[in-house]
Amino acid sequence: MACNDENEPLLSGLATPRTQKTNGDRPKKRRFRRVRSAPFADFVPTDGNREAAVPRSGSIFGRLNPSLKKVALFLTLYMGLGTICFYTTRTQIKGDKTNGILDALYFCVVTMTTVGYGDLVPNSDLAKLLACAFVFTGMALVGLVLTKAADYLAEKQEILLVKALHMNQKVGELQVLKEIETNRVKYKFYTTLIILVVLILSGTIFLYKVENLGLVDSFYCVCSTITTLGYGDKSFSTEGGRIFAVFWILASTICLAQFFLYVAEVNTENRQRALVKWVLGRRTTNIDLEAADIDDNGVVGAAEFVLFKLKEMGKICQQDISVIMEEFENLDVDQSGTLSVSDISEAQIC
């Protein structure tokens, strides 16, 4: 549950009593419609043929997301500044060296991702202080910026994954978006898992072919790298290997972090769905009706029942309801128990 308030009335002290209707005055069954401001309803416009047309100028099908431009800018600044600093102090860094600029860039990536093989290590006070500064800023960049970019790219790949799963079926863009919206976390998990497997295989094959490591040693080096263990006994030592490592280390370490994040999200979502299934599957008792009866008039309306079930599912709690009801009372200037255009206008003036 979201809050520990199961025994509290849903709208205690905030609900206005209603008059009880007799059986003869019972209204017909009402149909509940989608709210006009529902995000998905606004997202899918219709064309002249009354068929759903998915806009391709949004963040999914459209051009490069503005947030990715910021990520590219921050990453370029970090890598550029780090390369300049470590190239300037290259004589104060000892270890297996290939090319001055490449080694500086490689050392910057290894530092940012906290892999730390030990094949290149700072050997002076200045180099050590620079390494300390760049490891903290690099971790912040990975945690705050790059993971958001990875999440966005994972969402982009969900489209391809869903289409591949429904390859033999005629599925339009609207159906694809609905499927993704329903199982967003699950498809992110599958997408990241596929990318992670590809990165592990590509890293293993590259180390085996280019770095001339054994198959087991190649896989061992890949695992110690993407988990940021970086034992140091196996690493990228050739010039071509370090060019590959600059991109591969950054992508694989972030992908693994996102993978475990989605594992946790899938587990949480499954627990929430199990709770919802249990709440909707159990029989409603007289005690439940008494708890759901907000205005204590002996009957439970549709809105009261929905609130009670949402609260049982843990989707809302008493604090949420209290805040919303407080806002409603502030907007209900004439204290009629309903909101109108005049109420909103007067509330804005006040």
Flag whether 6 is in a domain: no
Report the range out of 13-22, 45-54, 156-165 with the highest average pLDDT: 156-165
- Are 105 and 79 in contact by the 8 Å Cβ rule? The answer is yes
Flag whether 262 is in a domain: yes
Beta-bridge mates of residue 120: 95
d(CA 350, CA 341): 14
Flag whether 35 is in a domain: no
Residue 104's nearest CA partner among 125, 134, 74 is 134
d(CA 193, CA 187): 10
Residues 169 and 293 both lie in one domain: no
d(CA 173, CA 188): 18
Flag whether 192 is in a domain: yes
Beta-bridge mates of residue 46: 52
Flag whether 187 is in a domain: yes
Count other C-beta atoms under 10 Å from residue 42's C-beta: 9
Pure H helices in the chain: 39-43, 66-88, 100-112, 125-141, 147-165, 173-182, 184-209, 215-226, 239-281, 286-292, 302-313, 318-331, 341-349
Asked which of 237, 258, 278 is the last residue of a domain, the reply is 278
SS3 per residue for 241-272: HHHHHHHHHHHHHHHHHHHHHHHHHHHHHHHH
- The count of domains in the chain is 2
Taking residues 150-173, what's their average pLDDT? 58
Asked which of 262, 278, 294 is the last residue of a domain, the reply is 278
Asked which of 278, 302, 333 is the last residue of a domain, the reply is 278
Residues 298 and 193 both lie in one domain: no
Taking residues 44-61, what's their average pLDDT? 40
| Owning domain of residue 318 | 279-348
d(CA 26, CA 46): 38
Residues 259 and 283 both lie in one domain: no
Residues 171 and 206 both lie in one domain: yes
User: Among 51-55, 279-283, 326-330, which stretch is predicted with the lowest mean pLDDT?
Assistant: 51-55
How remote is the C-alpha of 136 from its chain's centroid? 23
Flag whether 156 is in a domain: yes
- Encode pLDDT of 87-101 as tens digits: 999 999 999 899 999
Beta-bridge mates of residue 339: none
